[in-house]
Amino acid sequence: MAVDYAPNPNLKIWLDGKLVPTAEATVNVFSHGLLYGDGVFEGIRIYNSRIFECDAHMRRFYDCLKAIRMEIAWTSDQIVNAINDTMKANNCENGYIRLVASRGPGTLGIHPFRTTAPNVFIIVDKIQMYDPEMYEKGMKIIIASTTRNHPNSISPRIKSLNYLNNILAKIEAIDAGCLEAVMLNPEGYVSECTGDNLFLVKNGRLVTPATHCGLLEGVTRGLILKLAAKRGIPTDETILARPDLYFADEMFITGTGAEVCPITEIDKRKVGKGMPGPITKQLMADFRAYIQSGGA
């Protein structure tokens, strides 16, 4: 049975330089972002009216634009100002930002340069990825059969509008009664989850897949590596196989929406003792402290 998950009608959306009501925030049906997934986006957190890791997000956004050869009319500073304007218009002190650049309307063909100027829009709203109880007790996940895109096909480092690869793995997770799934790369090694990066702890070492394993270099992932180094926790960015996940002492995911969430079961196998471990809890606490200190 279909369920109506309608967007908030009371939001103000920044669209191509103007703040407009949700109902007026529309794009042309000939937009290549809609027709072909030709565009990029950033998901960014707001904490205490601050844009979380703003510089890192802006660098990645413009790097992705460059990678797909899309030029927009606004500089990074102008986009940051637009985000702040949108936050104020929606009275949002703690929430989520979705920044999108979509190839503009064009011909019914994939030629990316037979289009008009790109559409750029900013949504600011609340977000809750997972039940609060999962952050205390942990969540269960699976390893999906859907393989992560080959980096030579479409690089996971480009945060593109085409998320069908991730969505197919997400469907597997939902069908299994989970909300997240690990995706393996074409060589069978661990890359990332459908929307989050993955960490495990083994013998006191914090381990995460290396970027060459085909994953998005998450901003929160990078912060956790810095916080671990500050704590003196040894870290490795390396190649991980399926058994490494089954043998882990602790496990957690990181992402803009997810923040830091412990994993306590994978493929119906307990992770460690089946509860969030000490290093996971320490890094979760350090992450919250970083936010509260204004580090964001």
The CATH code of the domain that includes 107 is 3.30.470.10
Query: Has residue 171 got a pLDDT over 90?
Result: yes
Q: Is 273 a catalytic residue?
A: no
pLDDT average, residue stretch 45-56: 96
Q: Which residue has the higher pLDDT, 198 or 1?
A: 198
Looking at 125, 152, 171, the residue that finishes a domain is 125
Query: Has residue 2 got a pLDDT over 80?
Result: no
pLDDT average, residue stretch 64-78: 98
Query: Has residue 248 got a pLDDT over 90?
Result: yes
* The predicted structure's pLDDT at residue 5: 73
Residues 6+ apart with CB under 8 A from 51: 44, 45, 57, 80, 83, 84, 97, 296
Kindly state whether residues 221 and 121 are assigned to the same domain: no
- Radius of gyration (Cα) for the chain, nearest Å? 19
The CATH code of the domain that includes 272 is 3.20.10.10
Question: Of 12, 18, 140, 159, which is the active-site residue?
Answer: 159
Question: Domain span at residue 74?
Answer: 12-125
* The predicted structure's pLDDT at residue 3: 60
Kindly state whether residues 33 and 58 are assigned to the same domain: yes
Query: Has residue 209 got a pLDDT over 80?
Result: yes
Kindly state whether residues 138 and 181 are assigned to the same domain: yes
**pLDDT, tens digit (0-9, with 9 covering 90-100), for 252-276:** 999 999 999 999 999 999 999 999 9
Mean pLDDT (the chain) is: 96
Instruction: State the pTM of this model.
Output: 0.94
